[in-house]
Structure formats: C-alpha cells, structure tokens
Amino acid sequence: MQRTQVAILGSTGSIGRQALEVVREQPGRFEVVALAAGRSVPLLADQAAEFRPQVVCLTAPSMPPGGPEDAPYPQGAPGAGEALARLQGGPWDFLRGEDALTTLATLAAADVVLVATSGRVAMPATLAAARAGKDVALANKESLVIAGELVTTAARRSGARLFPVDSEHSALWQCLSGEPPGAVRRMILTASGGPFRAWSLERMAGVDVTQALAHPTWRMGPKITVDSATLMNKGLEAIEAHWLFDLPLQRLEVVVHPESIVHSLVEFIDGSLKAQLGWPDMKLPIQLALAGGQRLPRPDPEQRPFDLASLGRLHFEPPDTARFPCLGLALGAGKEGGTAPAVLCAADEVAVEQFLLGRLAFLDIAAVVDRTLQALGSQPVVSLEQLLEVDAQARRTAKMACDGMLKVR
C-alpha cells in the first residue's frame, strides 16, 4: 500500500506530537512530508532530523531590529541557536513566518494536512488546503468556529474532505458511518464537566490558575484546559459539529459525563442511538483522521483492554448554564451565526489570557465575553479578511472590558 503523505501544522504541540507517535507506530502507512511549529525550535529540529520531511516551517518571528537577524523567539532559549542552525542546514526547504503555513497546507506531495496549530493563525492555511482539494484533519477549533462557512463552502467546491480530530467529533463521525443522509434526529456531545462540575458559584469565585488547569481527565494546553473548565470548549465544539455534519445547532445537545468514556452519541429518526466508547486517548481519533476513516490496528502495548464490567456505572447529567455561562454564550453566538462566533473566540482568548496572567477572576471570563458580544453584535460573513478584522476589533474591545474590571477591583 502506498503510504499517506502527511503535512503536520503544529508538530510540537500536544496533538502534533501524538500524531508523530502514530506515524512511528504505522511506518508502512504514513510518511511525513512537512512540519511546522511556532517557537519550540529544538524540538522541531529533532522532529525534522527524525522524519526528514520535504519542508520545515518555523512561524515564530525573528528578533526585532537590533538583535541577531535570524535568532528565534524566545530570547535565550536553551539550544535554540544550535537548533536553528540545524533547521537552516538540513536537507529540506526551510521557511519562516506564519504566511508560510499556507505553502505547507497546499504542498503538492501532501495527501492530508493535519491542522493542529492553535488559534486564528491556522485559518488561512485551513482555507487554502480546502480550496486546493486537500484532505484536512482538523484539530484547530477556530478554523470552523470562526470561518466554518468559508471552509465548508471551499471544501464542497474542491472535493476536499474534512476529518475531525477532536474525540467528540470523531465519535460522531464514527456513529454516522454507514448511515443514510437524513437519518439523524440529533447529536449529543458529552462533556467531562471539568474540575468544577460540582462546585458552587460562591466557591468558583475563588478559583485560581492552578485549580483551573487541573483537568480530571485530559492533558491539554492551558487555553483549552481553561475553556474546558468554563465549558466554553463544549460550546465551541457544538459550533464545529454544526459545520462538520451540516446539522442545525438546535439539534445539537450537550450532556455532562464525568467519566469521559462515552465520547458522543447520535440519535436517529427511529429513536435508536449509537454511542462511541473508549478510554480517553487522542491517538485513536488522530489515527482515524489521518487514515481517512479506515480502521488500523493499534500496536501500542500499553493500551488497556476495555472492560465494561470493571467500569461499573457511567453517569450523565445536564449542564448548568447558570454556573457555566460560557456554554450558553457559545451556543447563542453559534445560533446567531455570521461574525458572532469570531467575536466570541477573540473575546474568550483575551479573557483566558488575562486569567492565566492572574489579572482576571475566573468568573469574569464569561462577563468579558458577554460584554464584547453585546458591544459588537454580528454581521454576515463575506471573507477571511473581514473575519480577521472582526477578530482584531473584538480583541481590543475585550481588552478594554478586562481593563475596566481591573480598575473596579
């Protein structure tokens, strides 16, 4: 079998590293042709040396005027200078800057593009890949939450396929396999509930950064971990599912499931339901997406046998939007449509950043998002450039809201 050629955008992050583990486990099935990372220069150099791609990209900017011309951020990172020299002198094309992600996303040799770069920086590359007819394995929320209309339209026109990497969307995808169009009544996304599922509002008022980053099930980056704690992440996933599966948000529901064993469910028009179950493990949805939905054996010797009897009971409960207003804000922005999700994402990113810096209270994250949504409203989506302008405006508005709360405190 000819190996699938994979371009990985965000190779040094959690999803990117696990994707490379999948490639190591399936050397006869996958081959890496492109790698891109932000600031983790030594790790990117090690990955390039191991996988020998055609193209390597470092998106971090060079030093500002006055510093060494090609020194990467952050200044003084251990081994960064030597690693950069290895990247520049390797047997691959070496590119710099965020704009180069589009080059990797449309690389002729790439069969599938894994978009694991976080934030809005990945949106142009995702859109370019879809327009070029590339299969896209999506682990970047913003690409669909903000630009879902643009990306899905481009994919339909070019024949590109969008494969979900999030465990919940992968579960829905697997449940839909073999089902005819029009058979779905509703989709149910499961949420762990995060570390504060059983906390009162009064107790949540004192949440600190360490507590918010202590997720009970998954190990993720700080931004997505905080989003999971506020349940914002589940609202964003509902918007993603709307675009991935062409289902109105009114037919998407969220249920809290603290064990994180049932990854999501689909209810059909005859009343039957399908659920995808498994241990919390991101390598399975990554492998499934890279393989275009084909089942491949898992060679991991540490994989635990799945035993329903040993699990005992599984618990489900409705989400409490009074204690977790970010979920309601996200679902509301998704239903409003247009540029509202772009405003939502930008405001949330600013608010979470301020919380992680210790400048904003945990419960104030939702307040900042709400104020920004009310201030900017929504307008129809016309272009990626418009969405980026809305993003910038929302960030300014959210920062002013944060500053106002700091003054009050």
Among 160, 179, 208, identify where a domain stops: 160
> Same domain, yes or no, for 145 and 256?
no
Closest CA to 277 of 179, 170, 141, 183: 170
Is 289 domain-assigned?
A: no
| Residue 362 or residue 307, greater confidence | 362
Span 305-310, average pLDDT:
84
> Same domain, yes or no, for 239 and 366?
yes
What CATH number does the domain containing 39 carry? 3.40.50.720
pLDDT band at 306 (very low <50, low <70, confident <90, very high): confident
> Same domain, yes or no, for 141 and 41?
yes
Q: Could you check whether the bond before residue 42 is cis, i.e. omega within 30 degrees of 0? A: no
Is 71 domain-assigned?
A: yes
> Same domain, yes or no, for 363 and 310?
yes
Three-class SS state of 6: strand
Is 266 domain-assigned?
A: yes
**Cα(146)–Cα(381) distance, rounded to whole angstroms?**
9
Question: How far is C-alpha 5 from the chain's CA centre?
Answer: 22
> Same domain, yes or no, for 138 and 191?
no
Among 106, 129, 160, identify where a domain stops: 160
> Same domain, yes or no, for 183 and 320?
yes
CB 62 within 8 A of CB 36: no
The structural domain count of the chain equals 2
Percentage of the chain exceeding pLDDT 90: 82
> Same domain, yes or no, for 90 and 135?
yes
Three-class SS state of 35: strand
In the block, which residue shows the tokens 């609202």? 235
Span 66-90, average pLDDT:
68
* pLDDT of res. 81: 85
> Same domain, yes or no, for 182 and 221?
yes
> Same domain, yes or no, for 149 and 178?
no
Q: Tell me which of 4-13, 74-83, 324-333 is least confident.
A: 74-83
> Same domain, yes or no, for 193 and 135?
no
Residue 140 phi/psi, 5° resolution? Answer: -100, 115
Span 67-85, average pLDDT:
62
| Residue 67 or residue 161, greater confidence | 161
Q: What is the pLDDT of residues 317-338, one digit of tens each?
A: 999 999 999 999 999 999 999 9
**Cα(188)–Cα(275) distance, rounded to whole angstroms?**
9
* pLDDT of res. 120: 86
Is 293 domain-assigned?
A: no
69 has a pLDDT exceeding 50: no
Is 112 domain-assigned?
A: yes
Among 136, 160, 184, identify where a domain stops: 160
CB 250 within 8 A of CB 243: no
Is 288 domain-assigned?
A: no
What's the distance, Cα to Cα, between the start and end of the chain in Å?
63
Which tokens in the block code for residue 221? 């980056």
* pLDDT of res. 181: 86
Three-class SS state of 313: coil
How many CA atoms lie within 13 Å of 13's alpha carbon, on the beta-carbon side?
21
Asked whether the whole model's pTM tops 0.75, one would answer: yes
Is 285 domain-assigned?
A: no
What CATH number does the domain containing 209 carry? 1.10.1740.10
Residues 6+ apart with CB under 8 A from 394: 342, 343, 346, 347, 350, 372, 376
Is 121 domain-assigned?
A: yes
Domain of residue 131 covers 4-160
Q: Tell me which of 79-83, 287-291, 382-386 is least confident.
A: 79-83
Q: Tell me which of 60-74, 147-161, 173-187 is least confident.
A: 60-74
> Same domain, yes or no, for 179 and 154?
no
* pLDDT of res. 302: 57
* pLDDT of res. 171: 98
> Same domain, yes or no, for 117 and 196?
no
Span 259-275, average pLDDT:
97
* pLDDT of res. 4: 97
Cβ neighbours of 379 (radius 10 Å): 13
